[in-house]
Amino acid sequence: MDRFYNVLIVGAGVAGLNCALHLPTGTRAAVLCKGTPDRSDSYLAQGGICRLQGSEDYQSYFDDTMRAGHCENNPAAVDCMINSSREIVDELVGMGVDFARNPDGTLAVTREGGHSRSRICFHEDCTGKEITQKLLARVEKLENVAVIPETTMLDLIVSGNECYGLIVLNNKTGEVFPVFADYTVLACGGIGGIFTHSTNFRLLTGDGLAVCLKHGVAVDNINYIQIHPTTLYTKSRAGRSFLISESVRGEGAVLLDKNYKRFTDELQPRDVVTAAIYRQMEKDKTDFVWLDMRTIPREEIISHFPSIVEKCREEGYDVFSECIPVVPAQHYFMGGIRSDLNGKTTMGRLYAVGETCCNGVHGANRLASNSLLESLLFAKRAALDITNNYSAASKKAAEEAEGKIDYGQYADPAKLLEEYKQTVKKAIKEAENVKPHFGRA
Ligand SMILES: Cc1cc2nc3c(=O)[nH]c(=O)nc-3n(C[C@H](O)[C@H](O)[C@H](O)COP(=O)(O)OP(=O)(O)OC[C@H]3O[C@@H](n4cnc5c(N)ncnc54)[C@H](O)[C@@H]3O)c2cc1C
């Protein structure tokens, strides 16, 4: 890895990759990731990506997003996302993303909880993997961008509220060193790794949030954490919880209590369904509720949900002939590093995009399948903003800032990352008492 880039991007999920893809070819950039590039939540996305179905769909898509977010969303961010959704999906199609199609060749759409109509494009039940693989293949072909795996951001290099790059760890050699940049983009995903039960990769522990808290970069709504209603219940429950996509319920699956009776409307927003499940588990004194997929035509299950069928089979359940046990688990982070609609944070030369940031688009609760879209769009906007306002950072200021760093604090990186986790947990707890910040324009 070089010691200077024009743009340093932390994270190789859809946000980091799409940011890199929209930088001009003359801009030298590096995309770092903590593990291998396939270990991002972007790879795990099952259900799909929302796309405005036409101008007649605008108001209902807007209202669905706001209703799911308890109207604590930033309306300008929601408007921007909805109006750009067709362009983003078109770009993905242009990159070869193989979305499901209707017999006439148009994009097929499915529905999930909180949506008043079908508007979600999908690729089987592994839309995220399909999108991320295609983006990664494109980025890997770029001569101006290096994807650097097994490299962990430990800190920001800061002076006078400007970011001059990062302190990073080579996971393999243990070497800790500075990397300078004119601009730094945090695209480090969610915080599931700090929870015992989460659908997220365990390595996603909110490091971006922690370094921002450390350096006084503003964060918002960090206690807004989404619990997904349906993950597969297993007795051990160690490791990552396996998600049973909401589109399963969108296609007709129903939730049943211990006596196999329906107890809620399965297509309400996630937080409402989660609360109903918890209430039912308490009433029934059970560790899970049942999800019945037999209400979905067999052919639809086979073509749309092959990964879910396979995972359930591995766990000993045949979705075609029996119900599967499901339980809620941590899933998504609506809060994050405060960023405007171009990804700018409150620190100069520092951007934040994707799940790690909070631009208010999701309000208090994310509407299903808005996250890939939001991550892709605002990452692209950040790349364009950097490009349109580019100015080189002062080399002297960068070196002075680095010269003042006490490297002793990075002597035990594992301990430091554990401390970061505790910082994030503490901040989330404290945020319970802070008035929500929303409605920014
Ligand atoms: C099981 C599951 C299903 C989902 N289904 C959907 C869906 O159907 N539709 C939808 O819209 N959304 C869905 N989501 C949410 C969506 O996938 C994510 O919100 C989105 O992909 C986030 O993208 P991102 O690029 O911000 O982060 P991620 O894709 O999580 O990428 C984060 C990157 O940051 C890197 N990183 C983190 N910390 C560091 C560090 N300290 N140093 C270096 N690198 C670091 C990681 O290595 C990784 O490369 C789902 C999420 C999960 C978990």
Alpha-carbon separation of residue 98 from 62, 91, 373 (angstroms):
26, 12, 16
- Give the per-residue pLDDT at 234: 86
| pLDDT score for 235 | 77
Residues β-bridged to residue 48: none
Residue 33 and residue 17 in contact, taking contact as beta carbons nearer than 8 Å: no
Query: Is the CB of 375 within 6 Å of ligand 1?
Result: yes
Q: Is residue 332 helix, strand or coil?
A: strand
Question: Residue 29 — left, alpha, or beta (φ > 0 → left; ψ -120 to 50 → alpha)?
Answer: beta
Burial class (CB in 10 A: 0-12, 13-18, 19+), 59: exposed
Ligand 1 in reach of 184 Cβ (< 6 A): no
Domains observed in the chain: 4-224+334-431 (3.50.50.60), 229-330 (3.90.700.10)
Which atom of ligand 1 has the smallest separation from the CA of 370?
A: 11
Instruction: List the one residue out of 416, 342, 344 whose CA is nearest residue 162.
Output: 344
Does 248 contact ligand 1 (Cβ within 6 A)?
no
What's the burial of 360, exposed, middle or buried (CB within 10 Å: 0-12/13-18/19+)?
buried
**Catalytic option among 270, 349, 366, 381:** 270
335 pocket-lining for ligand 1 (C-beta < 6 Å): no
The string of DSSP letters for 245-304 reads: -HHHHHTT-EEE-TTS-B-S-TTS-HHHHHHHHHHHHHHHT-S-EEEE-TTS-HHHHHHH
Cα 279 to the center of its chain, rounded Å = 28
H or E element that contains 169 = strand 162-170
Q: Which of 46, 65, 64 has the alpha carbon at shortest distance from 362?
A: 65
| Cα–ligand 1 centroid distance for 375 (angstroms) | 9
Name 322's Cβ contacts closer than 8 Å, sequence gap at least 6: none
Query: Could you tell me the pTM of the whole model?
Result: 0.93
pLDDT of residue 325: 96
> Measured from the CB, is residue 206 less than 6 Å from ligand 1?
no
Q: What is the β-pairing status of strands 336-338 and 350-352? A: unpaired
Task: Report the separation in Å between the CA atom of 154 and the middle of ligand 1, taken as the mean of its atom positions.
Answer: 19
Atom of ligand 1 nearest to the CA of 14: 25
Please list, in sequence order, all residues whose beta carbon lies within 8 angstroms of the beta carbon of residue 122, skipping any fewer than 6 positions away. Answer: 47, 48, 49, 99, 100, 108, 109, 110, 247, 304
Residues 6+ apart with CB under 8 A from 305: 124, 125, 245, 248, 293, 319
d(CA 50, CA 372): 8
Distance in Å from the first CA to the final CA of the chain: 38
Per-residue pLDDT of the chain (441 residues; tens, 9 = 90+): 999 999 999 999 999 999 999 999 999 999 999 999 999 999 999 999 999 999 999 999 999 999 999 999 999 999 999 999 999 999 999 999 999 999 999 999 999 889 999 999 999 999 999 999 999 999 999 999 999 999 999 999 999 999 999 999 999 999 999 999 999 999 999 999 998 889 999 999 999 999 999 999 999 999 999 999 999 998 765 678 999 988 899 999 999 999 999 999 999 988 899 999 999 999 999 999 999 999 999 999 999 999 999 999 999 999 999 999 999 999 999 999 999 999 999 999 999 999 999 999 999 999 999 999 999 999 999 999 999 999 999 999 999 999 999 999 999 999 999 999 999 999 999 998 665 544 332
Q: Which among 188, 357, 377, 424 is the best mutation to test ligand 1's pocket, defined by most ligand atoms within 8 Å of the CB?
A: 188
Ligand 1 atom with the shortest distance to the CA of 200: 53
Q: CB within 8 A of 409, min separation 6: which ones?
A: 155, 416
Length, in residues, of the chain: 441
| Alpha carbon of 39 to ligand 1 centroid (Å) | 9
Our answer on whether the CB atom of 200 is closer than 6 Å to any ligand 1 atom is yes
Largest separation between any pair of C-alpha atoms in the chain: 70
Q: For every residue of 350-390, which 3-state class applies, written as one string?
A: EEECHHHEECCCCCCCCCCCCHHHHHHHHHHHHHHHHHHCC
Is 198 touching ligand 1 by the criterion CB < 6 Å?
no
Protein residue with least CA distance to atom 13, ligand 1: 45
> Is 372's C-beta closer than 6 angstroms to any atom of ligand 1?
yes
Distance, in Å, from the CA atom of 128 to the CA atom of 358, rounded to the nearest integer, reads 21
**Residue 339, token pair as written in the block:** 């960023």
Q: What is the pLDDT of residue 435?
A: 57
Q: Dihedral of CA 103/107/113/115: which sign?
A: negative
**Cα(96) to centroid of ligand 1, in Å?**
21
- Ligand 1 lined by 131 (C-beta under 6 Å): no
- Residue to probe by mutation, ligand 1, list 22, 34, 40, 41, most atoms within 8 Å of CB: 41
Encoded tokens for 20: 């890199």
Which residues lie below 8 Å from residue 367, measured CB to CB, with a gap of 6+? 50, 64, 65, 68, 69, 114, 115, 269
* Known active-site residue 86: no
Determine whether the shortest distance from the Cβ of 289 to ligand 1 is under 6 A.
no
Bridging pattern class, strands 324-333 and 289-292: antiparallel
Q: How far is the CA of 13 from the centre of ligand 1 (A)?
A: 6
Q: Pairing state of beta strands 219-220 and 176-186?
A: unpaired
| Span from the CA of 420 to the centroid of ligand 1 (angstroms) | 19
In the reported structure, the alpha carbon of residue 436 is separated from the centroid of ligand 1 by a whole-number distance in angstroms of 24
